[in-house]
């Protein structure tokens, strides 16, 4: 009988210009069966979102400026969800120019991610 994955997705990063959150797959020896998807938890001070994906990415839309988001990812197989990755922190700042946003991602205990953008919306998809 399969068991849930024991490994975690690694190397969470945000690709620009579309705020594409990506991650590396779980080490093959820790799959414990076929990985069928991923659960992504995105939270800020007022709400937590749970998003599922069958791919190793999601697009972060409609984030609120000057809000810190904590993001973590877990692999899922037929037996259930594995442990969540180390979280990353994402903080959006208004752009001082009309250039495309830029970002870099670090573990939340080291630094925060800053994405400059010229618009403000609510929510994550």
Any idea which residue has 């690694």 for tokens?
10
Query: What is the domain count for the chain?
Result: 1
Look at residue 61 in the predicted model and tell me its pLDDT.
84
With a cut of 50, say whether residue 113 has pLDDT above it: no
Look at residue 11 in the predicted model and tell me its pLDDT.
93
Q: Is the dihedral of CA 34, 89, 52, 54 positive or negative?
A: negative
With a cut of 90, say whether residue 27 has pLDDT above it: yes
Q: Is residue 84 part of a domain?
A: yes
Look at residue 91 in the predicted model and tell me its pLDDT.
81
Q: Is residue 111 part of a domain?
A: yes
Q: Is residue 30 part of a domain?
A: yes
Q: Is residue 125 part of a domain?
A: no
Q: How far is residue 124's CA from residue 9's CA, in Å, rounded to a whole number? A: 20
**Full-model pTM:** 0.76
With a cut of 50, say whether residue 1 has pLDDT above it: yes
Look at residue 33 in the predicted model and tell me its pLDDT.
94
The verdict on whether omega for the bond into residue 7 sits within 30 degrees of 0, i.e. cis, is no
Give me the percent of the chain exceeding a pLDDT of 90.
51
Look at residue 37 in the predicted model and tell me its pLDDT.
96
Look at residue 39 in the predicted model and tell me its pLDDT.
96
* DSSP reduced 3-state for 30: helix
Q: Is residue 3 part of a domain?
A: no
The CATH number linked to 91 is 2.60.40.10
Q: For residue 108, what are the domain limits? A: 10-117
Q: What is the pLDDT of residues 84-109, one digit of tens each?
A: 999 998 887 766 434 444 443 444 44
Look at residue 36 in the predicted model and tell me its pLDDT.
96
């Amino acid at each position: 009988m399969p068991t849930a994955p024991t490994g975690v997705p690694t190397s969470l990063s945000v690709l620009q210009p579309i705020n594409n959150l990506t991650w590396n797959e779980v080490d093959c020896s820790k799959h414990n069966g076929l990985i069928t998807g991923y659960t992504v938890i995105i939270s800020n001070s007022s709400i937590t979102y749970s998003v599922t994906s069958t791919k190793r990415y999601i697009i972060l839309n409609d984030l609120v400026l000057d809000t810190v988001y904590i993001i973590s990812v877990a692999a899922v197989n037929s037996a259930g969800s594995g442990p969540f990755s180390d979280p990353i922190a994402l903080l959006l700042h208004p752009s001082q120019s009309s250039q495309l946003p830029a970002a870099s991602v670090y573990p939340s205990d080291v630094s925060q991610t800053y994405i400059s953008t010229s618009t403000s919306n609510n929510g994550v998809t």
